[in-house]
């Protein structure tokens, strides 16, 4: 990945993979509401993909100077193996952890690269993923940790 476009293509592909992951999980889900839930996760990833596409077309810029809150909800939660009878709680844990992994990936890449333009792009992507993680963390906080 040596150009901005290549990086963006990689990122766009990753979002597509994530969307596919949730929709295939939705296909297998036993519970109707989890099916719907997982499809909505998938749609969320497709939105991310769309956003990156418009970045690539130059319609919008990816900023990296914003501070995104890290609630650290997922840090100490156990890893979940997604199964057909996955619960809402577990699905959210999976989603948080996936976004966190993506964030780590881009952050690491930004650290290892020297080209300032590319570095900026990776940092921007990392921030995007941090935002996605925050979205799922907030949902987890609101839906699962009602009493906690």
Q: Which is nearer to other proteins, 46 or 88 (CB)?
A: 88
Q: Which is nearer to other proteins, 14 or 132 (CB)?
A: 132
Interface residues for other proteins in 49-78 (CB under 8 A)? Answer: 69-72, 75-78
How many Å apart are CA 27 and CA 9, to the nearest integer?
27
Question: Is the CB of residue 103 less than 8 Å from the CB of residue 130?
Answer: yes
Query: Going residue by residue from 117 to 136, which x/- string records binding to other proteins, judged by CB under 8 A?
Result: --------------------
How many Å apart are CA 52 and CA 27, to the nearest integer?
26
Stretch of 20-28, 41-49, 54-62, 89-97 contacting other proteins, by CB under 8 A: 89-97
How many Å apart are CA 100 and CA 139, to the nearest integer?
15
Q: Which is nearer to other proteins, 52 or 73 (CB)?
A: 73
Compute the Cα dihedral for 61, 64, 69, 73 and give only its sign. Answer: positive
Q: Indicate which single residue of 6, 27, 36, 117 sits in contact with other proteins (rule: CB under 8 A).
A: 36
Q: Indicate which single residue of 32, 57, 61, 114 sits in contact with other proteins (rule: CB under 8 A).
A: 32
Q: Which is nearer to other proteins, 14 or 48 (CB)?
A: 48
Q: Indicate which single residue of 3, 17, 24, 30 sits in contact with other proteins (rule: CB under 8 A).
A: 30
Q: What does the block give as tokens for 34?
A: 């989890």
CA 86-88-91 angle, to 5 degrees, is 65
- H/E stretch holding 25: helix 4-28
């Amino acid at each position: 990945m040596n150009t901005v476009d290549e990086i963006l293509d990689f990122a766009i592909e990753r979002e597509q993979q994530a969307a596919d992951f949730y929709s295939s999980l939705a296909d297998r889900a036993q519970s109707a509401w989890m099916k719907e839930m997982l499809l909505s996760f998938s749609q969320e990833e497709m939105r991310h993909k769309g956003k990156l596409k418009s970045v690539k077309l130059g319609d919008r810029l990816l900023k990296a100077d914003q501070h995104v809150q890290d609630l650290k909800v997922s840090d100490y939660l156990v890893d979940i193996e997604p199964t057909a009878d996955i619960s809402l709680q577990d699905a959210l844990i999976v989603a948080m952890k996936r976004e966190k992994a993506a964030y780590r990936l881009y952050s690491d890449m930004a650290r290892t690269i020297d080209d300032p333009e590319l570095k900026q792009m990776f940092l921007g992507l990392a921030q995007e993923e941090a935002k996605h993680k925050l979205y799922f963390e907030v949902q987890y906080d609101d839906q699962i940790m009602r009493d906690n």
